[in-house]
Amino acid sequence: MKTIKDVAALSECYDLLIIGAGPAGLAAAATGAELGLSAVLVDENPAPGGQIYRGITTTPVTAKETLGADYWRGTDLVRSLEASKASYAPGATVWSVGPAPDSPDATGGMEVGVSINGAARVIQARQVIAATGALERPFPVPGWTLPGVMTAGGAQIALKTSGLVPDGKVVVAGSGPLLYLLTAQLRAAGAKISVMLDTTPLENWGRAIRHAPDFLRSPYLSKGLKLLLGANRGMRIVRGVKAISAHGDNQVTSVRFRHGSKEEELPCDVLLLHQGVVPNINLANAVGCALDWDEDQLTWVPQTDDWYETSVKGFTIAGDGAGIAGAEGAALRGRLAALGAGHRLGRLSAQERDRTAAPVRAQLIRASRGRRFLDVLYQPAKAFRVPTADDTIVCRCEEVTAGKLRETVALGVSGPNQMKSFLRCGMGPCQGRLCGLTVTELIADARGVSPGEVGGYRLRPPIKPITLGELAALPKTPAAIKAVER
């Protein structure tokens, strides 16, 4: 592996550029390099691992049981990348991906804008694999913007990267397998979590149960049982929670919730919210990939073929970004994506590709077993996706409330992109990453149509902010320089 520390060290053009060094990206880069492709893995973080294996080579949390055996599996993926001929650019932000210009020097592939350490550059790649993973689903409850309220995933980042554990009385709230995992990790690291408010709608069990047979034969069963048993020790779990709000003046000091017919208020210093993860489609959206609304996962999922190539030729999405399937599945999908790209680049025939892929696909089927049960069981309740209280903030950057959005729908504004122009929701620094799903579902709900019909924000590049200075210093591409010389 060759490590790249500044943009000048990047090649002008790669066969394969992979974005994101989580399980899918690590596997895709190693597989691509094995196929003899010139491959570069570009990642925002200073070290590999993505979210699930964040800090795998650097974490100060060395006691193996704190983060658990599944976490340490990431080590093998990093080793296979290190042993490969791929290039690896840590601390590198991809801010743009688009079709390469129609110039004589263009590859007919993609043009990618990359920044490292405040210097930007545009390079080309014949194939791009985005392994940009998942995001936590927004959890817009009253008071969720108060200091002291954060996502459970955010708390996990602090734990993995710096060994930090939230101080004081901690309440966790939400649903999904990850909520239990994050809670277990934080408790093992010393966080004082006294209460878990489980918002999983009890009625979901009725719909999920028909998918239970697959789940019972899946590795999720034993992991799930272990987490549930652990959670029951020394922590109160309130199930069937139907409403949550955070309270406090400048800082959260209490959480109120309703379960059954009871209302309760508990003091807390930190409230951690989490209701599952959804594909991070920001890049796919900005590139122009066709997206579908997934009724089970209640999110946008990019349309892909068997090799995860999207509707945009040469642009592939591997891992949770193409639909949530977990870390093990992500690594397998990364390998399949690289095989697909390798074939399109002429490195291996369709037969070789399919032969190599067959055992990977078999593993993927095993790894995905039981997912549907989890998807259906942990579908968050509508009240936690579409805020009922009008003063609940939906867009945090521009402070746009649910009530304002509903008023604007009543004016005849029918979609998220028109809404942006009216209310500036989704136009702040996060560019709609935090409110996109909520805005779509809220408009759909107010109009009485499906989210698929309403559509989502059309995201604009740069995918990540770039400073004016960086952009001003952007070197001209060789194609542009030659055009001037001619």
Partner 1 sequence: MSGVFGEESPDVIVIGAGIHGCSTALHCAKRGLKVLVIEKDHAGRHSSGVNAGGVRQLARHVAEIPLSTYSMGLWHRIADLVDDDCGFTSDGQVLVAESEEEYDSFRARVTQLNSLGFSHEELIDAKELRSLVPAVSETCPGGIVSRRDGAAIPFKTTQAFRRKAESLGVRFCEGVRVTGIKADGSAWMVTTDAGTARAANVVNAAGAWADRIAACLGEPVPLEVIAPMLMITARVEHFIKPVVILRSRKLSFKQFANGTVLIGGGHLGRALRDQNITVLDWVKLAESAKTVWDLFPIMRGAAIVRAWAGIEARMPDDLPVFGKSRIHQGIFHQFGFSAHGFQLGPGAGAVMAELIAAGNTNTPIDGLGIERFAT
Minimum Å distance from CB 448 to partner 1? 19
Task: Report the alpha-carbon distance of residue 59 to residue 42 in Å, rounded.
Answer: 20
Contacts 24+ apart (CB under 8 A), 356-362: 360/332, 360/335, 360/336, 361/332, 361/336
Q: Which is nearer to partner 1, 242 or 424 (CB)?
A: 424
For strands 291-294 and 87-89, give the pairing.
Answer: unpaired
Minimum Å distance from CB 115 to partner 1? 11
Q: Assign 437 to helix, strand or coil.
A: helix
Minimum Å distance from CB 418 to partner 1? 7
Cis check for the bond before 462: say yes or no (omega within 30 of 0). yes
Q: Which is nearer to partner 1, 37 or 439 (CB)?
A: 439
Minimum Å distance from CB 45 to partner 1? 19
Burial of 360 (0-12, 13-18, 19+ CB in 10 A): middle
Q: Which is nearer to partner 1, 24 or 123 (CB)?
A: 123
Decide if 314 contacts 337 (C-beta within 8 A).
no
Contacts 24+ apart (CB under 8 A), 52-55: 52/22, 52/23, 52/327, 52/330, 53/22, 53/23, 53/77, 53/78, 53/327, 54/156, 54/157, 54/160, 54/161, 55/160, 55/161
Q: Which is nearer to partner 1, 113 or 319 (CB)?
A: 113
Decide if 55 contacts 160 (C-beta within 8 A).
yes
Minimum Å distance from CB 183 to partner 1? 34
User: Which stretches of the chain bind partner 1, using CB under 8 A?
Assistant: 96, 98-99, 101, 111, 113, 122, 288, 411-414, 418, 421-422, 424, 427-429, 431, 460-462, 465-469, 471-474, 476-477, 480
Minimum Å distance from CB 284 to partner 1? 15
Residues whose CB falls within 8 Å of the CB of residue 14, separated by 6 or more in sequence, listed in order: 37, 38, 39, 40, 87, 123, 124, 125, 126
φ, ψ (nearest 5 deg) of residue 254: -155, 160
Q: How many whole angstroms from its chain centre is CA 465? A: 18
φ, ψ (nearest 5 deg) of residue 3: -90, 135
Minimum Å distance from CB 174 to partner 1? 29
Minimum Å distance from CB 288 to partner 1? 6
Q: Which is nearer to partner 1, 99 or 240 (CB)?
A: 99
Decide if 228 contacts 177 (C-beta within 8 A).
no
DSSP states of 341-409? HHHHTTSS-HHHHHHHHHHHHHHHHHHHTTHHHHHHHTPPPHHHHS--STTSEEETTTTEEHHHHHHHH
Decide if 256 contacts 389 (C-beta within 8 A).
no
Q: What is the dihedral of CA 344, 347, 352, 354, to 10 degrees?
A: -30
Q: Which is nearer to partner 1, 350 or 484 (CB)?
A: 484
Minimum Å distance from CB 109 to partner 1? 14
Q: Which is nearer to partner 1, 156 or 280 (CB)?
A: 280
Minimum Å distance from CB 280 to partner 1? 17
Burial of 10 (0-12, 13-18, 19+ CB in 10 A): buried
Q: Which is nearer to partner 1, 63 or 411 (CB)?
A: 411
Q: Which is nearer to partner 1, 210 or 476 (CB)?
A: 476
Minimum Å distance from CB 316 to partner 1? 19
Q: Which is nearer to partner 1, 347 or 404 (CB)?
A: 404
Q: Which is nearer to partner 1, 53 or 95 (CB)?
A: 95
